[in-house]
Amino acid sequence: MAKDYDLQDTDGYEWIYSDKVQEHFFNPKNVMRKNPKKGVYNGYGEVGSPACGDVMKVWIKVDPKTQKVTDFKWKTFGCASAIATTSILSEMVIGMKLDRAFKITAGDIVKKLGGLPRRKIHCSVLGDQALRKAIDSYWKKS
């Protein structure tokens, strides 16, 4: 797990995030660039609050025959950890059956990222919550 010390920049400070977090923060995967057209995605989940800083919105497309996630798009407003968490979660979920995706935990996400500073773990909790809300919304519609 990444060490938990002060974030520092090029003025002699050190980056506290793993290479995997940096990769997903600087080059996020599966980002929703525009608002989706109605009916393209059959599951939606949103968690967080602009008042406290982090908001995650996720859209999933599920194949009704196989119950597999065929697409996962997202928009996250927040810190590097929140963005990296949603990005890597999108890669984890595509191709996965819904029942398995529903069981993804914050710990699974943090492990896949190579760790997060303790004070940033709450970002990974938002990711798995948003995913479960999207899956719930799919199940309610189908």
Q: Compute the distance between CA of residue 82 and CA of residue 45 in angstroms, rounded to an integer.
A: 15
pTM: 0.85
Active-site choice (34, 38, 52, 140): 52
Q: Please indicate whether residue 123 is annotated as part of the active site.
A: yes
Query: Which residue ranges make up each domain of the chain?
Result: 19-141
Identify the active-site residue in 55, 56, 123, 135.
123
The continuous run of DSSP H or E covering 110 comes out as helix 106-113
19-141 CATH fold:
Sufe protein. Chain: A (3.90.1010)
Supply 5's token pair: 């010390």
Please say if 79 is a catalytic residue: no
In tens, the pLDDT along 51-92 reads 767 899 999 999 999 999 999 999 999 888 899 999 999 999
Across the range 36-53, mean pLDDT stands at 88
27/19 Cα distance (integer angstroms): 12
Q: What angle do CA 17, 19, 25 make, to 5 degrees?
A: 70
Sheet order of strands, 55-63 included: 43-48, 55-63, 68-77
